[in-house]
């Protein structure tokens, strides 16, 4: 049985064509029904004293039911189910976005008050009320995170290379297992680990920036390993074989063919792993502590970091409570901006370093 395409009919233009058509709801019907639903929702919620959240909840529920019913009556069950699922998916998306928008709005609203030059140029030395800034905390976060990256990226990358290119058998399985375990370590445990390690090495009451970097590395290494491993696995085996067939030894193949091919994904993974740890508070709280002055040397004493700075501004305000709260919000805002900047960098890396296939 083969289907033939019938030529267009010109003789009986009013006969049904080969494709059956069905009535459809007008284009703006769904939107209109939802607006009507919202209106009804407003009325309903007004019965018990007007409430915007309740309005939206009633409105969406009524709108969904109305769209489904209308579609079922006019377009049939298949289309109606389609519309129902579309409504549910969009609603779920909306619910997921609400906290994000709310949080961004709140942080922006409260953080902007102190987003000024002083905040970026002053430390907290001698500040008990208004003024002061987080220069020392911003620099501390940058230094400690960079140090954590310097420790984690080589270890993580080399581990991933071992797992994908060289490893086999029991050792490979053991490493994979422990990387999995490390992924689940709570961040406070990482902090306590670094704390215990340095206390054993240097005695009690030691506080160093590098301790924080070590704690962050414990969290960062498994992320780097995992993301790099996935990316290296994506490099087609044919490229490795092409290189071997030219008489290139394995290690050169890895360095000159596999890594350059995967560089975009590796860069993206590393950047995202940095973004993952830059906002960690607990491990830094127990290892690095906090100071009010600027200390740029991670091997000498306490340092300030943005998350810990925000934490203390919030929990231990002096007499001028509002000034401390404002600084905490601004520190949070700067941290969010930092993470977003890292995400943008990750995107740019994957855009610019991806192998070109353009014709």
Nearer to another protein, 253 or 305 (CB): 253
Stretch that binds another protein, among 187-195, 222-230, 232-240, 290-298 (CB under 8 A): 232-240
Q: Residue 170, interface with another protein (CB under 8 A)? A: no
Can you tell me which of 98, 249, 296, 318 binds another protein, judged by CB under 8 A?
249
Residue 323 tokens read as 């000034």
The residue (of 261 and 295) whose beta carbon lies closer to another protein is 261
Sole window of 45-53, 201-209, 278-286, 349-357 interacting with another protein (rule: CB under 8 A): 349-357
- 203 near another protein, rule: CB under 8 A: no
Using CB under 8 A, pick the residue from 82, 130, 241, 300 that binds another protein.
Answer: 241
Nearest to another protein of 260, 318 (CB atom): 260
Using rule CB under 8 A, residue 247 touches another protein: yes
Using the rule CB under 8 A, is 359 a contact of another protein?
A: yes
Q: Is 143 in the site for another protein (CB under 8 A)?
A: no
Q: Does the protein bind another protein through residue 71 (CB under 8 A)? A: no
Fill in the per-residue mask, 123 to 142: x = in contact with another protein (CB under 8 A), - = not in contact. Answer: --------------------
Separation between Cα atoms, residue 194 and residue 147, nearest integer Å: 14
Contact between residue 115 and residue 333 where contact means Cβ atoms under 8 Å apart: yes
User: Binders of another protein among 256-315, rule CB under 8 A?
Assistant: 256-257, 260-261, 263
Q: Under rule CB under 8 A, how many of the chain's residues touch another protein?
A: 25
Q: Report, in Å, the least distance between residue 351 CB and another protein.
A: 15
The one among 40, 115, 127, 248 contacting another protein by CB under 8 A: 248
Residues 197, 199: Cα–Cα separation, whole Å:
6
Q: Rounded to the nearest whole angstrom, what is the least distance from the CB of residue 157 to another protein in the complex?
A: 18
From 39, 43, 88, 239, residue interacting with another protein (rule: CB under 8 A): 239
Least distance to another protein from the beta carbon of 244, Å? Answer: 6
Per-residue three-class SS string for the chain: CCCCCCCCCCCCCCCCCCCCCCCCCCCCHHHHHHHHHHHHHHHHHHHCCCCHHHHHHHHHHHHHHHHHHHHHHHCCHHHHHHHHHHHHHHHHHHHHHHHHHHHHHHHHHHHHHHCCHHHHHCCCCCCCCCCCCCHHHHHHHHHHHHHHHHHHHHHHHHHHHHHHHHCCHHHHHHHHHHHHHHHCCCHHHHHHHHHHHHHHHHCCCCCCHHHHHHHHHHHHHHHHHHHHHHHHHHCCHHHHHHHHHCCCCHHHHHHHHHHHHHHHHHHHHHHHHHHHHHCCCHHHHHHCCCCCCCCCCCCCCCCCCHHHHHHHHHHCCCCCHHHHHHHHHHHHHHHHHHHHHHHHHHHHHHHHHCCCCCC
351 counts as binding another protein under rule CB under 8 A:
no
Among 168, 315, 316, 319, indicate the residue that binds another protein (CB under 8 A). Answer: 168
Q: Does 253 bind another protein (CB under 8 A)?
A: yes
Going by C-alpha positions, the residue among 152, 52, 115, 126 that lies closest to residue 327 is 115
Residue 356 in the binding site for another protein (CB under 8 A): yes
Biggest CA–CA distance in the chain, Å, is 99
Q: Based on the shown chain and the rule CB under 8 A, indicate whether residue 243 belongs to the binding site for another protein.
A: yes
**Binding of another protein at residue 70 (CB under 8 A)?**
no
Task: Write out the residues near another protein by the rule CB under 8 A.
Answer: 168, 236, 238-239, 241-249, 252-253, 256-257, 260-261, 263, 355-359
């Amino acid at each position: 049985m083969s289907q033939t395409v019938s030529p267009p009919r010109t003789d009986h233009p009013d006969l049904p064509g080969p494709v059956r058509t069905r009535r459809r709801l007008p284009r703006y019907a769904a939107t209109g029904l939802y607006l009507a639903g919202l209106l009804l929702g407003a009325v309903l919620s007004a019965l018990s004293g007007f409430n915007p959240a309740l309005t939206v909840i009633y409105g969406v529920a009524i709108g969904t039911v109305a769209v489904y019913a209308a579609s079922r009556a006019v377009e049939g069950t298949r289309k109606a189910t389609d519309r129902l699922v579309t409504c549910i998916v969009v609603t779920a998306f909306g619910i997921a976005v609400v906290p994000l928008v709310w949080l961004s709005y709140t942080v922006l609203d409260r953080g902007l008050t102190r987003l000024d030059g002083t905040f970026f140029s002053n430390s907290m030395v001698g500040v008990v009320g208004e003024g002061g800034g987080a220069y020392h905390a911003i620099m501390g976060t940058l230094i400690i995170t960079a140090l954590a990256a310097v420790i984690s990226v080589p270890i993580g990358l080399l581990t991933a290379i071992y797992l994908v290119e060289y490893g086999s058998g029991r050792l490979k399985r053991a490493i994979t297992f422990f990387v999995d375990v490390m992924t689940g370590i709570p961040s406070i445990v990482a902090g306590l680990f670094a704390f215990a390690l340095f206390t054993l090495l240097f005695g009690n009451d030691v506080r160093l920036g590098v301790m924080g970097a070590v704690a962050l590395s414990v969290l960062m290494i498994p992320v780097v390993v995992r993301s790099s491993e996935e990316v290296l696995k994506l490099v087609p085996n044919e490229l490795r074989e092409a290189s071997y067939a030219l008489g290139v030894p394995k290690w050169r193949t890895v360095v000159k063919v596999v890594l350059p091919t995967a560089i975009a994904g590796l860069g993206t993974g590393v950047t995202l792993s940095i973004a993952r740890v830059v906002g960690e508070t607990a491990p830094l709280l127990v290892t690095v502590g906090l100071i009010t002055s600027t200390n740029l040397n991670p091997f000498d004493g306490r340092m300030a970091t943005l998350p810990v700075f925000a934490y203390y501004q919030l929990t231990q305000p002096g007499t001028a409570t509002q000034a401390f709260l404002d600084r905490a919000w601004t520190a949070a805002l700067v941290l969010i901006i930092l993470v977003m900047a890292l995400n943008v960098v990750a995107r740019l890396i994957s855009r610019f370093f991806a192998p070109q296939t353009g014709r």
